[in-house]
Amino acid sequence: MTDAAVPAGAPAEASAKPEINWPVLLLGFAGMVIGQFMAILDIQIVAASLPQIQAGVGASADEISWIQTAYLIPEVVMIPLSGYLSRLWGTQKLFLASCVGFLIMSVAVGLSSSVEMMIFFRALQGFLGGAMIPTVFAVAFTAFPPEKRVTASVIMGLIVTLAPTVGPTLGGHLTEWLSWRWLFFINIFPGVVVLFLVGRYAHFDKGDASLAKGFDWWGLGLMAAFLMSLQFVLEEGAKNDWFADDHILLLSLVAAICGPAFIWRSLVYYNPIVELRAFANRNFVVGVIMTFIVGAALFGGTFLLPLFLGRVRDYSAAEVGTTMVVSGLAMFATAPFAGRLVRAVDPRILMFLGFILCAWGMWDARLVTDQWGFWEFAGVQAVRGCGVMIAMIASQQVTMSTLPPHMVKNASGLVNLSRNVGGAFGLAILNTSLTQNSALHMVELTSAISQSDAGVRNMIAGLAQRFSGSIDPQASAMKAFYGMLQKQATTLAFGDAFALLAIACACAAFVTLLSKPGKADPSAGPSEVH
């Protein structure tokens, strides 16, 4: 670290373990954490406000989903690329450039007058802001001494889990109080704080300009084609009946070809975009798998609940936000305890416990009815929130603790990529499950109910009486009756989706047992990794 310079003539021990300027380190790290929070928050901040955005820019139902998708597709390219750029330019320069680009695009998105403009600027916002997410992880494991890395890890775990959870809450209330444009303008003030703190204090390392020589353009092209195609397929596949859609089929083939080609290129090229040697470390592999599943549990849970509340309960954006806040509060309350536990208990045990708690919360939610609201979901969210936080913090320790310092920057990009892709896989599976099971349950309900049944006849007659003022009361009654059946079928499908997520978390709990215990050397100081 530049702020911990060793005076001339100092003994060798001092140069190996420099004194840390803690105020400078903490202020610089705080600025980066705020930037990371903004970048992750913006993924989900629009989730509860899509109807208002749709009306504001005149978008169709198909177009509006791209407000989220357009952010995620370019972001998955920048996340692994950030490790290389951080080594090339230095952490501070990369973070500042990423933050400036993110802020400019935030304003541009907020000022958009058409859905095409909005999608374009959201894509640039995701790409330019993507570097703010993984660089924080790298700093936590290189700039902090081993005995303080758990604290830094707790802070990161809190940000990573809390940001997507409070996103719909904050977004819903902002839309209700001001307008949907403030979902993006809100980034300006914290962004200025980030630029000041990072520009003034974040002198963690220096770049290595020699890395620019022999830049792997082929590797970058293959990586971009692979990751963007994969993200598109996962985001849009469920909506378009997967391989029945020509675009999905074509991009699946692109991903299937470019993925192995990118891996081969990274292994044989002398200066690869992404260094894959970290996968030789068993704990890193297990940690990446765990992070993948944490991403599915985190984003899956955050996706299912607002969708249910809007689709089945007809909740407003603010009501959805209020209901979702319980999970965020549970994560916030759990974080400090998780930090203490990870110091005292084998992280593998905590990963197991975290995933079991996630599974428990989701399994309880399988009993959901069309009357469930805030109080019914409160317990589910609290248990899931605690589990996600414990699993996240523990998996970070298992994943990064046994890696050598020179691998950390690239590894942090890969870990964050696995979480994002895990979230995309989770959402794709859950979307497909909801679509297919809704249709299945509708068939089951309609086949089990006969209009000759006395109870059914009485219900339809009552509905017809309610619609007596309409042109065709009987037709209106039948429409309302089948609407009730559809609502019930949808509710049952949500129960199936919660159960599916629970089973995935339970399986993940046992995968944690494959990792080895590993602790960083407490005598090792912070590292300057270029």
* pLDDT reported for residue 138: 77
Per-residue tokens: 74: 């370019």
Q: Say if CB 515 and CB 282 are below 8 A apart.
A: yes
Distance CA 94, CA 35 (A): 12
Q: Say if CB 142 and CB 529 are below 8 A apart.
A: yes
Residues 283 and 379 grouped into a single domain: yes
Q: Would 451 be classed as within a structural domain?
A: no
Q: Would 450 be classed as within a structural domain?
A: no
Q: Say if CB 285 and CB 514 are below 8 A apart.
A: no
Who contacts 17 (Cβ-Cβ below 8 Å, separation ≥6)? 523, 524, 525
Please write the tens of the pLDDT for every residue from 306-356. Answer: 788 877 888 876 677 777 778 778 888 888 888 788 778 888 888 888 889
Q: Provide the percentage of residues in the chain whose pLDDT is more than 70.
A: 84
* pLDDT reported for residue 195: 92
Distance CA 17, CA 6 (A): 9
DSSP H/E element including 143: none
Mean pLDDT value across residues 196-225: 84
* pLDDT reported for residue 57: 74
pLDDT higher for 183 or 204?
183
Residues 329 and 373 grouped into a single domain: yes
Q: Does the pLDDT value for residue 285 go beyond 90?
A: no
Count up the domains in the chain and report the number: 2
Distances (CA, A) of 489 to 104, 373, 446: 44, 18, 10
Kindly report the backbone phi and psi dihedral angles of residue 471, in degrees, each rounded to the nearest multiple of 5, phi listed first.
-65, -40
Mean pLDDT value across residues 237-258: 82
Residues 232 and 170 grouped into a single domain: no
Instruction: Categorize the per-residue pLDDT at 423 as very low, low, confident or very high, splitting at 50, 70 and 90.
Output: confident
Residues 296 and 325 grouped into a single domain: yes
Nearest to 275 by CA among 66, 84, 456: 84
Q: Would 361 be classed as within a structural domain?
A: yes
pLDDT higher for 121 or 148?
121
Residues 147 and 47 grouped into a single domain: yes
Instruction: Categorize the per-residue pLDDT at 11 as very low, low, confident or very high, splitting at 50, 70 and 90.
Output: very low
Residues 207 and 227 grouped into a single domain: no
Q: Which of 202-211, 262-271, 388-397, 469-478 has the lowest mean pLDDT?
A: 469-478
* pLDDT reported for residue 478: 63
Please write the tens of the pLDDT for every residue from 85-131. Answer: 888 888 888 889 999 999 999 999 888 888 888 888 888 998 888 88
Q: Would 341 be classed as within a structural domain?
A: yes
Residues 153 and 246 grouped into a single domain: no
Distance CA 91, CA 35 (A): 13
Residues 256 and 315 grouped into a single domain: no
Q: Would 454 be classed as within a structural domain?
A: no
Q: Which domain holds residue 228?
A: 216-270
Residues 259 and 288 grouped into a single domain: no
pLDDT higher for 400 or 359?
359
* SS3 (DSSP) at 273: coil
Q: Say if CB 214 and CB 406 are below 8 A apart.
A: no
Instruction: Categorize the per-residue pLDDT at 179 as very low, low, confident or very high, splitting at 50, 70 and 90.
Output: confident
Q: Say if CB 194 and CB 67 are below 8 A apart.
A: no
Please write the tens of the pLDDT for every residue from 266-281. Answer: 888 887 888 777 787 7
CA angle 103, 424, 299 (to 5 degrees): 75
Q: Would 413 be classed as within a structural domain?
A: yes
pLDDT higher for 11 or 202?
202
Q: Does the pLDDT value for residue 7 go beyond 50?
A: no
Residues 225 and 187 grouped into a single domain: no
* pLDDT reported for residue 273: 80
Residues 121 and 262 grouped into a single domain: no
Q: Which of 57-66, 112-121, 243-252, 260-269 has the lowest mean pLDDT?
A: 57-66
Who contacts 48 (Cβ-Cβ below 8 Å, separation ≥6)? 168, 169, 171, 172, 175, 306, 310, 317, 320, 321, 324
Q: Would 262 be classed as within a structural domain?
A: yes
Please write the tens of the pLDDT for every residue from 426-475. Answer: 878 888 888 888 888 888 877 766 555 655 556 656 555 665 656 656 66
What average pLDDT does the structure give for the chain?
A: 78
Q: Would 354 be classed as within a structural domain?
A: yes
Residues 179 and 242 grouped into a single domain: no
CATH number, domain with residue 411: 1.20.1250.20
